[in-house]
């Protein structure tokens, strides 16, 4: 049994007031699904097995290049962050693992592991950082890291990634996620091809250090922090990387990293088809890499992504993409946003499970576009909250995580321990 | 000697009035370039060897889904179109080949070949059409062609492409361009993966029929006429196709077929690096696939594309992408637009030849972003019109193609022969 | 009592099989809403009063500039179209009026009125057409209509609009919708300011002819069929027009006419605030003016628009925007698409009625962004289908309009009378 | 005579090596223009009178939310910044005024004025900052400033703007620029209308404090730092603000603040037409508000904007929009980028002066789209660098500002005085 950060009885108390209603809603939903030939308990079982990782940096308040406005009780270090992650997992019962960012989360690996064990958490993919300069770093990443024109800078970036693998090995991680800010701000600043060749060469060095049972995820992004070109600009380049590197290399899809209007669910399908979908950084966006809460802007798009994932899950023997939230919480309590966002991911998964795939297949074969799309809509429109809440309840979590969290006064309590942080300008000045 | 569609002496007369000025401008430009270590005559020689193909459909007035407003003297058939193409080539001396669209341009191959020979024209890539239903066609392409769920429809589309190859063989073409409208208008309408599998299977059949000395070009497009998804949505999918098909398969880049803000020159660089750039459909656009005249909206972007092409030309042993215009001329005389657009393509090529690549390389190595980008800008800003005009003059074309064309009264003359066409609604009703 | 196009008893038969289930779902939904303090019957009553107009052109199959693939049983003229509209209204009980497009729908006004009366239909806004040339028209709109440089062409366009008003007066319409294709395809082609001045001058002529109890709606659109600039490019210009014209002038919002990523619901809010929201052309889109079925791509966006409308309905004394579908049905049976789309509009309205606005206001005041957005999400997630179906049932329509329609064999029956139409290329050739 | 920051003789020395060539190029350009009926000296005179302001924050290295990588010799305070601005003006002779940002540049007004006088500089528009929290500020702007739900916070923001006016009065500024980050990150977080009402009310308070000979500029921006909605999201809302405020209120256009694909030059034309164009924040962008160097990405778009400005300059009696650079220099020496960018602004202006407006008007009237657009292209293609350089030379600046600047070793010299700044993460952590 792991340690509970806050009193489990407060969850139980909150649940008590909601349980009867939940059971009633679960029952009527079950009745409706039953009519459609779907056994609600089987859905529930699948949902109960689904998890999504929390990024350590997600529990702190984010910022923009213009400013950062901290909240109260901000975590001071990775151990505070792990506690916040444990709270999220305790309430949602859906987020048992944490993804670390090095060097931000650098600490004694044994202490990391012990703390995580004690809190009932594990470690998801490791994240390297070569998009900002760490203090005392020999070579600056101002003009690039893994693709820098200078060999020593590339070497430093390679070694940093290898260090991330080493730390990961010590704490039980099984994957490395590599996102770089390399690119250019001016036409001509970088030679596209030579820059990419340098990147590939450097990544091959990193890949060599990857244990056999690890995966390496590369992440594409259209722009920011480079504003004319980025080295890994889209899934096409990302796919090429994964092919060049080898069988342990996969593409990571961040929902906010694409050009306007792009059909992301189709990219997901293509990567699945060619065996290179590694996983996701979930978030939502309206304009660019807005890093808003998952499903906050376009919940149907999220559902359509999961429609592809469930289809693959049913058809492929060994399909297990990584799921991670990656958001910037600028105006909400990060713990609340992460709990709601985890629920949104599970909601999209649950809805996608409800799609009548046999009927859909028939409509597709017959080019009955209207009924095909209504098949998806019918599943999407079904309010699956009772399933999500029942899963949480049965696993010991909260029927209403935000309600229970607010009732607990957790944020106020940690604010007494964790000193207030000053806000200020962002990167621009 | 081939036949001239209109009196060469009218070109000579027009040139006479402009030649002295041209020679003066060529001289002063030569002087400026010489200072920068560039021999203007060497540039001129390269430009003189550069050509771009005319699409047969380009000489007719285009339209939108809302309406088509024909001009006067519209070509009635492929033979009228070839005459118009010959005019363009006579005046610009840069467009010696024509790209046919089947079944629109279907005619006796011998007559096609003889007419082209007589007019001094050759045939560029063949274009198949499975995005609209030809009269009497057994199976409709309403729900797709090469990726249709129905095997007979796919077979019909395959056979149509093979027929295009056959016609092409008879008239001396060496390439087939395949663009399809297949996709879907609703989430769920098509199963992305199965649809793409069907497409690949069908394309492999087409590929089998491809002669050894031919190339096959596939063209990606983000949307239109399908508005939720297209089968070949971007260069990533296009690259996968070319890999699946084989060494004779290449990707065609239409400048207007990308998502907003996408860095097209980078896509060009990636396709070059991985040996899969087949060629271009040149045009310009502000919003979607607007099919505006090349360089009309963003001439610097066109230059940046050619910056990649010239770089490749200098570094790769066997680099010969296909160049074709593909525009919709809704408010201009198509002949004029095509002449100006061909000049824009040559202009971008010429400007890119002026880039001081040794200096640029030094700036890139040193991360001197400002001087690197100024290297490009300096070349772009140099007004190379005197080189373009001199090339035309020396090859027997017009110093000022539009001026000479208008002076000739060609359009009015053909309007007497070619009957007026009624306008009307576009596709919507 | 008006005439039913197809046997009402077939609707009743279809309903019979579904009624018990509907009543059960309505009951459990009512129970859930009751817990939240919402009386389901009050919601139902409001929904029952909500209608959306059908565009006459919507019942025909649409097309793109590449092709048009007609369906079977296409309406031959406005009287066939009215019959199809009557079917939609009979089944959905939500679409009692039809919006005509002149000259496409030109016919004897008395016959129009009598037919509509007989079918239980009325006439919504009149639509003029100056974006394509009608046969025999004196002046072409190739280079513009109301903003054309030629005074006679502008005059012709003004007179056409006045004629639309005259027809509308004869058949009981109360509004004129003006959308023009005027703009330019090249930088410099048109002088932006003079072009807009000409447009305003012409529109003032039209406005003068507007009866006192009419409204005039102008519609903005970013691009297409003009691809560099359009005269009424966005809501800013549209607002200026409505101010210049006067109190009977309002802005019409077509959901697909905006730049990528634009926050449409905010534009709606601004137009409401400044008293100039005229109404909507509902549809959905992923890329440009895709004219897909309403809610097919981003149902949450549609809900957010209705969130503004319901907010205004509650706060403004005299708020009655026009609602019309405007879609292009390329791959579905238009009748089916229109029925489903009308339901989507009502669904968004219904969901927006469920928002707890008092709670929302409290969260907004307290900057509780998370709970504010969850207020919307909770309403959106509630599956209101039982309310929509119950409204239809109680008004004499179909619980499942598509099911009842398909069961009736209507399309096959009219296909026997209405001859098949040949498909073909779209506007491009 | 004002003080020169670095030895004028070093400029003269650099010029000496380039002058003969410049005179030769100016002469041949003059000859070409003369043929077209344009007197080069008249153009030169107009260009000599054109200036663009430097933002004080522009001389520091910018950053992104991911990181900031400082350069060497970064200015430590506003007085260092003024010295850097003086260098820019000394070399370019085109940037005699500086725009301050409060509180970043807060200092004793007398000392500011004296320093500026000594350096030959004046003060352009004042910029307030309510998008980040200054140290010790009573109310946080986390959830908004001028539109905040809390009256005290709004009051604080109003007072800050009034303070900016007061400082501006003391140092000779004549305008206030107001850009706010207010908006929302979640649907529902803010009530669009009430938020805008609060903003207008607050701005009216600021407006009251505006001296009679001042102008107030409001700036629209589509997104960032708010990622779902911004209060002043586009020119439509911006126009409404300027109307609500009064005759001294104008709209400021930042070229990077629009939706993808938007026709910015048309917005400029509309604002001119309705008397509300206040001025510009010049920069360039490919994706969002990238704040790249002016003209670095799409120089033709910049030219098209100036095409509107020159047209207005010729037609309107009292047209004097404000011109300011607003860029983020992340990978270049800010002084170099600002010099080059100022030159780009002047280049676009110069090119636009070369447009043959009489001919253009004729083509527009005749709907000769091809010749109309070629009129613009011909002007754009003319390399006007000799005019720009001659203007600089004759005003005492550098023929080649970057060359002369690098030769002077200015950056290295100030780096000895100004201590190195540590880089680090941006706003995100």
Query: Tokens in use for D267?
Result: 């917005």
How far CA C68 is from CA of A392, B61, B134, C134, C412, in Å, comes to 51, 19, 11, 19, 20
CA distance B247 to B236: 17
For chain B, list the contacting chains (3+ Cβ pairs, <8 Å).
A, C, D
Q: How many CA atoms lie less than 13 Å away from B202 in the CB half-sphere?
A: 31
For chain A, list the contacting chains (3+ Cβ pairs, <8 Å).
B, C, D
Q: Which residues contact C49 (CB under 8 A, 6 or more apart)?
A: none
- Bridge partners of residue A323, in order along the sequence: A280
Report the DSSP pairing between strands C183-184 and C229-230: antiparallel
Q: Contact at 8 Å (CB) between D126 and D99? A: yes
Q: Contact at 8 Å (CB) between B181 and B131? A: yes
B227 in contact with C at a CB cutoff of 8 Å? yes
A383 in contact with C at a CB cutoff of 8 Å? yes
**Chain C interface, best mutation among D150, D196, D266, D363, by max C CB count within 10 A:** D266
Q: How many CA atoms lie less than 13 Å away from A185 in the CB half-sphere?
A: 30
The domain at D8-415 falls in which architecture? Alpha-Beta Barrel (3.20)
Q: How many CA atoms lie less than 13 Å away from B412 in the CB half-sphere?
A: 5
B314 in contact with A at a CB cutoff of 8 Å? no
Asked if A332 and C286 come within 8 Å (Cβ–Cβ), the reply is no
Closest among C258, C279, C49 to C174, alpha carbons compared: C279
Residue showing tokens 């009926």: D37
CA distance A163 to A167: 6
- Which is higher by pLDDT, C419 or D355? D355
Nearest CA in chain A to B261: A259
pLDDT value of position C165: 98
pLDDT tens digit sequence for C228-252: 999 999 999 999 999 999 999 999 9
As a whole-number percent, the residues of chain B with pLDDT over 70 amount to 99
Q: How confident is the model at residue A224 (pLDDT cuts 50, 70, 90)?
A: very high
**Chain B interface, best mutation among C80, C104, C132, by max B CB count within 10 A:** C132
Q: In the C/D pair of chains, how many CB contacts fall below 8 A?
A: 154
Average pLDDT (C367-376) is 98
CA distance B253 to B264: 9
pLDDT tens digit sequence for D199-218: 999 999 999 999 999 999 99
Nearest CA in chain D to A188: D296
CA distance B227 to C256: 12
Average pLDDT (C160-187) is 98
Give the closest of C229, C266, C311 to D266, CB-based. C229
Q: Which residues contact B19 (CB under 8 A, 6 or more apart)?
A: B393, B399
Q: Contact at 8 Å (CB) between D335 and D288? A: no
Contacts of A25 in chain C (CB under 8 A): 32
In which element (H, E) is residue B100 found? Answer: none
How far A80 CA lies from chain D's nearest CA (Å)?
15
Residue D421 pLDDT more than 90? no
Mean pLDDT over each residue of chain C, to the nearest integer: 96
Nearest CA in chain A to B235: A236
Mean pLDDT over each residue of chain D, to the nearest integer: 96
Asked if A376 and B274 come within 8 Å (Cβ–Cβ), the reply is no
Nearest CA in chain D to C221: D262
C296 in contact with B at a CB cutoff of 8 Å? yes
pLDDT tens digit sequence for A52-96: 999 999 999 999 999 999 999 999 999 999 999 999 999 999 999
Asked if B188 and A272 come within 8 Å (Cβ–Cβ), the reply is no
Asked if D181 and A428 come within 8 Å (Cβ–Cβ), the reply is no
B274 in contact with C at a CB cutoff of 8 Å? no
Average pLDDT (D247-271) is 98
A374 in contact with C at a CB cutoff of 8 Å? yes
pLDDT value of position A421: 82
What angle, rounded to 10 degrees, do the helices at C264-273 and D192-208 form? Answer: 60
pLDDT tens digit sequence for C103-122: 999 999 999 999 999 999 99
Asked if D223 and A132 come within 8 Å (Cβ–Cβ), the reply is no
0.80 exceeded by the pTM? yes
B382 in contact with C at a CB cutoff of 8 Å? no
Give the closest of D187, D286, D427 to A67, CB-based. D427
Burial class (CB in 10 A: 0-12, 13-18, 19+), D134: middle
Contacts of D188 in chain C (CB under 8 A): 307, 360, 363-364, 369, 372-373, 375-376
In which element (H, E) is residue C347 found? Answer: helix C334-353
A185 in contact with D at a CB cutoff of 8 Å? yes
pLDDT tens digit sequence for C48-83: 999 999 999 999 999 999 999 999 999 999 999 999
Residue D202 sits at φ, ψ, to 5 deg, of: -65, -45
Q: How confident is the model at residue D1 (pLDDT cuts 50, 70, 90)?
A: low
Nearest CA in chain A to B304: A187
pLDDT value of position C428: 55
pLDDT value of position D235: 98
Q: Contact at 8 Å (CB) between B56 and B34? A: no
Helices (H), D129-178: 151-171
Asked if C185 and B292 come within 8 Å (Cβ–Cβ), the reply is yes
Q: Which residues contact B5 (CB under 8 A, 6 or more apart)?
A: B83, B86, B87, B90, B119, B410
Interface of B with C in 10-49 (CB under 8 A): none
DSSP string, C378-420: HHHHS--HHHHHHHHHHHT--SSHHHHHHHHTHHHHHHHHSPP
D429 in contact with A at a CB cutoff of 8 Å? yes
- Quick check: bond before A225 cis, omega within 30? yes
Nearest CA in chain A to C331: A369
Closest among A263, A192, A200, A201 to A230, alpha carbons compared: A192
CA distance A415 to D5: 51
Closest among A346, A342, A305, A307 to A325, alpha carbons compared: A342
pLDDT value of position A428: 55
D425 in contact with A at a CB cutoff of 8 Å? yes
CA distance C385 to C28: 12
- Give the three-state DSSP class for C176: strand
How far CA A192 is from CA of A229, B20, B312, B360, in Å, comes to 9, 43, 11, 13
Rounded to two decimals, the ipTM of the complex is 0.97
What angle, rounded to 10 degrees, do the helices at A78-92 and A410-417 form? Answer: 170
Nearest CA in chain B to A191: B364
pLDDT value of position B428: 55
Residue B196 pLDDT more than 90? yes
Interface of B with C in 54-73 (CB under 8 A): 57, 60, 62-69
D297 in contact with B at a CB cutoff of 8 Å? yes
SS (H, E, C) C49-90: CCCCEEEHHHHCCCECCCEECCCCCCCCCHHHHHHHHHHHHH
A341 in contact with C at a CB cutoff of 8 Å? no
Sheet holding A97-99, edge to edge: A54-55, A97-99, A122-123
**Chain D interface, best mutation among B62, B290, B381, by max D CB count within 10 A:** B381
* Residues recorded for chain B: 429
Asked if C236 and D233 come within 8 Å (Cβ–Cβ), the reply is no
**Chain B interface, best mutation among D383, D385, D389, D402, by max B CB count within 10 A:** D383
Query: Tokens in use for A366?
Result: 């017959």
CA distance D272 to D270: 5
Q: How confident is the model at residue D428 (pLDDT cuts 50, 70, 90)?
A: low
Asked if C186 and B140 come within 8 Å (Cβ–Cβ), the reply is no
Give the closest of B260, B369, B385 to D381, CB-based. B385
Residue A321 pLDDT more than 70? yes
For chain C, list the contacting chains (3+ Cβ pairs, <8 Å).
A, B, D
CA distance D38 to D31: 9
Contacts of A187 in chain D (CB under 8 A): 296-297
DSSP string, B184-216: ESSTTSS-HHHHHHHHHHHHHHHHHTS-TT-EE
**Chain C interface, best mutation among A88, A374, A381, A400, by max C CB count within 10 A:** A381
Interface of B with A in 247-266 (CB under 8 A): 258-263, 265-266
Query: Tokens in use for D316?
Result: 């309107």
CA distance C34 to C57: 42
Residue D426 pLDDT more than 70? no
What sign results for the dihedral spanned by CA atoms D290, D293, D297, D301? positive
- Give the three-state DSSP class for D361: helix
Asked if D194 and C260 come within 8 Å (Cβ–Cβ), the reply is no
Give the closest of B184, B261, B266 to A192, CB-based. B266
- Bridge partners of residue A252, in order along the sequence: A219, A279
pLDDT value of position A387: 98
How far CA B399 is from CA of A237, B39, B386, D32, in Å, comes to 43, 21, 9, 16
pLDDT value of position D425: 67
Closest among A229, A226, A233, A275 to A254, alpha carbons compared: A233
How far CA B210 is from CA of B174, B220, C292, D361, in Å, comes to 9, 20, 38, 53
Residue C1 pLDDT more than 70? no
Q: Contact at 8 Å (CB) between D247 and D210? A: no
- Give the three-state DSSP class for D329: strand
Give the closest of C234, C266, C365 to D149, CB-based. C365
Contacts of B235 in chain A (CB under 8 A): 236
* Residues recorded for chain A: 429
Query: Tokens in use for B64?
Result: 């939108």
A2 in contact with D at a CB cutoff of 8 Å? no
Buried b (16+ CB within 10 A) or exposed e, A301-328: bbbbbbbbbbbbbeeeeeeebbbbbbbb
**Chain B interface, best mutation among D370, D372, D379, D406, by max B CB count within 10 A:** D370
């Amino acid at each position: 049994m792991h340690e509970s950060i806050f009193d489990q009885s407060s969850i139980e108390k909150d649940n008590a007031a909601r349980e009867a209603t939940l059971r009633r809603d679960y029952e009527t939903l079950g009745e409706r699904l039953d009519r459609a030939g779907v056994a609600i308990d089987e859905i529930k079982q699948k949902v109960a097995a689904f998890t999504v990782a929390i990024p350590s940096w997600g529990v702190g308040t984010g910022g923009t290049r213009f400013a950062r406005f901290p909240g109260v009780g901000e975590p001071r270090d990775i151990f505070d962050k792990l506690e916040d992650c444990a709270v999220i997992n305790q309430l949602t019962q859906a987020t048992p693992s944490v993804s670390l960012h090095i060097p931000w989360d650098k600490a004694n690996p044994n202490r990391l592991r012990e703390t995580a064990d004690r809190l009932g958490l594990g470690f998801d993919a490791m994240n390297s950082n070569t998009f900002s300069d760490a203090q005392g770093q020999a070579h600056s990443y101002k003009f690039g890291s893994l693709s820098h024109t200078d060999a020593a800078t590339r070497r430093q970036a390679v070694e940093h990634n290898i260090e991330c693998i080493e730390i990961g090995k010590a704490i039980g991680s099984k994957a490395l996620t590599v996102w770089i800010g390399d690119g250019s701000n001016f036409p001509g600043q970088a030679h596209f091809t030579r820059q990419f060749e340098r990147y590939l060469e450097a990544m091959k060095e990193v890949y060599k250090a990857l244990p056999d049972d690890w995966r390496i995820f590369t992440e594409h992004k259209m722009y920011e922090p480079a504003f004319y070109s980025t080295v890994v600009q889209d899934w096409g380049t990302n796919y090429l990387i994964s092919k060049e590197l080898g069988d342990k290399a996969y593409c990571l899809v961040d929902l906010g990293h694409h050009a306007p209007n792009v059909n992301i669910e189709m990219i997901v399908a293509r990567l699945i088809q060619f065996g290179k979908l590694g996983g996701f950084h979930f978030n939502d966006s309206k304009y660019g890499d807005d890093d808003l809460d998952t499903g906050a802007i376009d919940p149907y798009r999220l559902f359509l992504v999961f429609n592809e994932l469930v289809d693959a899950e049913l058809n492929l023997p060994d399909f297990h993409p990584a799921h991670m939230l990656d958001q910037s919480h600028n105006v909400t309590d990060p713990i609340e946003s992460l709990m709601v966002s985890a629920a949104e991911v599970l909601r999209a998964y649950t809805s996608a499970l409800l799609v009548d795939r046999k009927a859909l297949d028939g409509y597709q074969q017959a080019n009955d576009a209207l009924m095909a799309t209504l098949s998806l809509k019918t599943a999407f429109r079904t309010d699956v909250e009772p399933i999500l809440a029942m899963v949480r309840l049965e696993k010991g979590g909260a029927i209403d995580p935000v309600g229970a969290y607010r009732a607990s006064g957790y944020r106020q309590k940690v604010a007494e321990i964790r000193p207030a942080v000053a806000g200020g300008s962002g990167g621009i000045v």
